[in-house]
Structure 1
Amino acid sequence: MATLSVAVILAENARRRPDRTALVEGDLRLTFAEVWRRALAQAGALAELGVRPGDRVALMAPNTAEFPQAYYAIAAAGGVVVPVHLLLSPPEVEHVLTDSGATLLLCHPAQAETGTAVARAAGVRVVTLGAEFERLAAAAEPLPSYVTRDADDPAVVFYTSGTTGVPKGAVLSHFNLVMNATVNAFDANDVRPDDIALGALPLFHAFGQTVSLNSTWRAGATLVLLPRFDAARAIELMVREKVDTFHGVPTMYVALIAAAADADELPDLRVCVSGGASLPVAVLERFEEVFGTRIYEGYGLSETSPTATVNQPVFGTRPGTIGHPLWGVDVEIARAEAEDRVELLPPGELGEVVVRGHNVFSGYLGRPEATAEALVDGWFRTGDLGTKDAEGFLRIVDRKKDVIIRGGYNVYPREVEEVLMRHPGVAQAAVIGLPDDLHGEEVCAVVVPAPDAAVDAAGITEWSRRHLGRHKYPRRVEFTDALPLGPSMKVLKRELRARYAPR
């Protein structure tokens, strides 16, 4: 039986680089030795609170130092981390607590009101991070080391955003997470021990947790936390702390481009990674022009730890693609209609993206049917449609469920959005299909106008018509101040469909 724990990522740094700065938040600076010492003290407190190996502990906190500290304390105690999205409503938080079978909630003071009320309803004990947890840790006997776990034991349960109804808990093992952090750090992009990364992505989400926290620390590099993303503050902080690595979702890149115009100085960035949603090529090009650095776009899901593919220097990069599979991972295109088997397609054909490798989750907690639907013939079916070209570059075309069928023709919203993002008066765009008596579905663009832009629906439709096929351009254009975003910063298209559906 091979043993492994996510806790070794921090433990080994404390052994190899004890005096290296691990974590920066505001004026707080902690070395790897200090973070690990605190984690073992907190793990001792968790053991005294009755947390046993395999017990699930919910963690509800923003990007403050308390998050990574508690995360590694739970791992060191042998517990399973259940991160709670901070954008969830109280009933959704209650679902996460009850569905996961969490025995304890570690809650940041900023979330204490919601957390305490919901935990009480769910019959789960709450400990507040900060003063209360510190007091318990000071009174407890620290663990001498981390509790060993089987490599395939659960380490984290991520609740997926629930684009298809009730959120499900994706169970990831210690092996899944340690391998994903390792290949992200050493095989995908050139991460170095003297790097300084900005932790602006939510750590409760798989992207922030693996790529910003675990991969940065796997390389022995420094993580600078930004508790709430604000582009102007992010630029100031990156300049002040000499940050050279940025991980973000497309909305963050859009905001950074806008804020750069008013900044006195821009950071000297070496590695930028985008994920979480498709990055419009127009945004990628503009960011690279303004910041003078390349963006490596990648792709993944909670169920794949999360990274599955990314543009990597070893293969060359290609804008508009999600690059190549990670080291040790296979990503292929399968016939989308064949749901009970995986039938791989040749290069260039459109189908469903399927993944196999060390990053694929164990299954959905307590949902054998959903697991059997997702894991077929040794592959994980992502529900995303894409292509793979002859050189192995993968491209995501759209979610299987978001494809619009207008008059019998398939329209992929991503393609229409790419074109709209090149319109000078468009800051953001989301394209959805709405029921239509004549065509079955009609293409509707929901647009956030650029500041001070004079745009109208007829003008955008006409402009699109010149750049898109006759069945693709949006006949209907709606304007909004902001697009609804889910916990993972993806646009909630189901909300838009509900909002703009014909009455």
Structure 2
Amino acid sequence: MLLLSVARRIPGRVAVRAGGSERTYGDLFGNAARFAGALAARGVAPGDRVALMMENRVEALESYLGCLLGGYTAVHVNDRLAAPEVQAILDDAEVAAFVATPGRSSIAVSAPLVLEPAFDAEPLPPRALPPAAPAIIGYTSGTTGAAKGVVITQENLTRIIRHMPVHDGLRPGSRCAFTGSFSFVAGIWGVMLPHLYLGGELSFMAGLPPDEWIARMIRERSNFTYVPSPLAPAFIEEVRRRPEVLRSLTGVLHSASAMRPEVMRELVAVVGDRFVETWGMTETGAPVTTTVPADWGEDCPAEDIYASAGRPAHIASVRVVGPDGADLPPGQTGELLVASDTLFAGYFRRPEATAEVLRDGWLHTGDIGRLDAAGYVYITDRLKDMIVTGGMNVYPAEVEHVLARMPGVAEVAVFGAPDERWGERVVAAIVRAPGHPVDEDAVVAFARQRLASYKKPVGVLFLDALPRNAALKVRKPVLRERYAERRDGRMS
């Protein structure tokens, strides 16, 4: 009841601005209690799992808060997913209800109870669950293509909410220009809920053109915002044009996907030590590394701060290990292991998958990187070929599984290629079946009908055969080279 106690102290203060309307803390938590009551009236019991597929609306936040107040486990469903992907999550989580905002409620799924957010019931008195009970389950695909539920417990959620203000340099009453979306579960527990904990103000700004984004921050005297990689160049240009936004802005966060060092240099040149770079993943709850204001000064001890994700936060530790599991010295590259106070409890009902990544209190991240002599972390690759496009995780095996079912496709391998706007793009290498004139448009259309839009390939490389090594594994570095050659015009 961490957030409820805040709301009771400041019921008349504005909590959220969205779509031209405002909600005070009293309004927000009153609606959350009515949402919990609506679920209870429909037979949803304490501890039941409620799937939420939400657009960027204030009702979405009220629904998550309603689950927390009512003692339900919120199951996050990315609102960009296609119907088969959503159904897989509903089945895996065995949800008691599926709730979607109006723009997503028409998706064809089967669940015991399917409805839009309802706030017309009697408010439900708060119900607390045990600290070890799941509070939120955020689904992330695995390298096998199967969705896995990352369990964040009640206790863990409290730790995340209390930690994030320190991590991001937030102060009580912080006014947040929220450019993220409910597609990202980390935006809920990592940005929105911590701002409510501080008695702050959330202003939904996702999708605004850069000039309107900056103009609203000036009008609302925003203190904090998130700059995703694709929007960084336009953000830099607008801040240069309207530097008065910096009078109130104290924190500019970047995370989730790689930002080119030259763009980061420009951004820091414009916003100075307000900039915060972090690294983490759904399984870590909160980010595990961060930069601090002194990192952007001349005395920074990092080998290359603009290529770094900062140093481990005070609640976290990072190790670099070789294939044998032994620690590697600074400068050597290996798999990054993380220990943190906010690590997830495990994958929902997947003990083997949990045991594979959580060993002796350390999360085996699958990211490849190194530490420099001063302890700064550098992410250089991914152990299992995950693609990060616009901050969204795409697992090649998941896309390969879908495209392999396309008529005319004999073999397929999916990989990531550099993209200046999105960080990486999804590319499919395809071997056509004899006599099937499959083309690029058909491949993209087939994927779009069965996968979230961000997972579809935006490039297709047709080959006579996939390059393989002696163990018959596809050599994806070779595919990346061939795709780069084709894009450069060096390959017919």
**Shorter-chain TM-score category?**
0.7 to 0.9
Question: Which residue is 2:195 aligned to?
Answer: 216
- Report which stretch shifted further, 225-234 or 348-357: 225-234
The answer to whether the 8 Å contact 2:275/2:293 transfers is no
For residue 86 of structure 1, the aligned residue among 59, 67, 79 is 79
- Report which stretch shifted further, 298-307 or 229-238: 229-238
Question: Which residue is 1:36 aligned to?
Answer: 29
Is the counterpart of residue 286 in structure 1 residue 274 in structure 2? no
Compute the displacement of 1:361 (Å): 1.0
Question: Which residue is 2:320 aligned to?
Answer: 333
Q: For residues 149 and 371 of structure 2, what CA distance do their matches in structure 1 show?
A: 29
Q: Deviations over 1:196-226 (max 9, x none)?
A: 1111111341331122202212222111112
The answer to whether the 8 Å contact 2:143/2:384 transfers is no
The AA in structure 2 aligned to 1:286 is E
SS in 2 for 1:43: helix
Do the aligned partners of residues 294 and 14 (structure 1) sit closer, same or farther apart at CA in structure 2, a change above 3 Å counting?
A: closer
Question: Which residue is 1:191 aligned to?
Answer: 170
Question: Which residue is 1:300 aligned to?
Answer: 280
Matches within 5 A, 1:343-422: 343-402=326-385
SS in 2 for 1:347: coil
- Report which stretch shifted further, 146-155 or 379-388: 146-155
Question: Which residue is 2:219 aligned to?
Answer: 240
Is the counterpart of residue 252 in structure 1 residue 235 in structure 2? no
Q: Deviations over 1:339-381 (max 9, x none)?
A: xxx4322222211111112211111112222111111222111
The answer to whether the 8 Å contact 2:51/2:74 transfers is yes
The AA in structure 1 aligned to 2:195 is T
Compute the displacement of 1:162 (Å): 4.1
Q: For residues 57 and 449 of structure 1, what CA distance do their matches in structure 2 show?
A: 35
Aligned residues with identical type, % of pairs: 29
Question: Which residue is 2:147 aligned to?
Answer: 167
SS in 1 for 2:190: helix
Question: Which residue is 2:182 aligned to?
Answer: 203
Question: Which residue is 1:143 aligned to?
Answer: 124
TM-score, length-scaled by structure 1 = 0.73
Question: Which residue is 1:10 aligned to?
Answer: 3
Matches within 5 A, 1:403-442: none
- Report which stretch shifted further, 246-255 or 46-55: 246-255
Q: For residues 194 and 362 of structure 1, what CA distance do their matches in structure 2 show?
A: 31
Q: For residues 175 and 274 of structure 2, what CA distance do their matches in structure 1 show?
A: 17
Q: Deviations over 1:394-429 (max 9, x none)?
A: 1111112349xxxxxxxxx99xx9xxxxxxxxxxxx
Compute the displacement of 1:274 (Å): 0.7
Question: Which residue is 1:321 aligned to?
Answer: 308
The answer to whether the 8 Å contact 1:201/1:212 transfers is no
Q: Deviations over 1:76-110 (max 9, x none)?
A: 11111111111111111111111111111111011
Unaligned runs of 5+ in 1: 1-7, 404-412, 418-431, 433-440, 451-483
Question: Which residue is 1:465 aligned to?
Answer: none
Compute the displacement of 1:326 (Å): 2.4
Q: For residues 64 and 2 of structure 2, what CA distance do their matches in structure 1 show?
A: 12
Compute the displacement of 1:292 (Å): 5.2
Matches within 5 A, 1:32-71: 32-71=25-64
SS in 2 for 1:246: strand
Q: For residues 332 and 321 of structure 2, what CA distance do their matches in structure 1 show?
A: 9
Q: For residues 148 and 241 of structure 1, what CA distance do their matches in structure 2 show?
A: 35
SS in 1 for 2:288: strand
TM-score, length-scaled by structure 2 = 0.75
Compute the displacement of 1:382 (Å): 0.6
Do the aligned partners of residues 260 and 500 (structure 1) sit closer, same or farther apart at CA in structure 2, a change above 3 Å counting?
A: farther
Q: For residues 241 and 276 of structure 2, what CA distance do their matches in structure 1 show?
A: 25
The aligned length equals 406
Q: For residues 402 and 128 of structure 1, what CA distance do their matches in structure 2 show?
A: 37
Q: For residues 377 and 418 of structure 2, what CA distance do their matches in structure 1 show?
A: 27
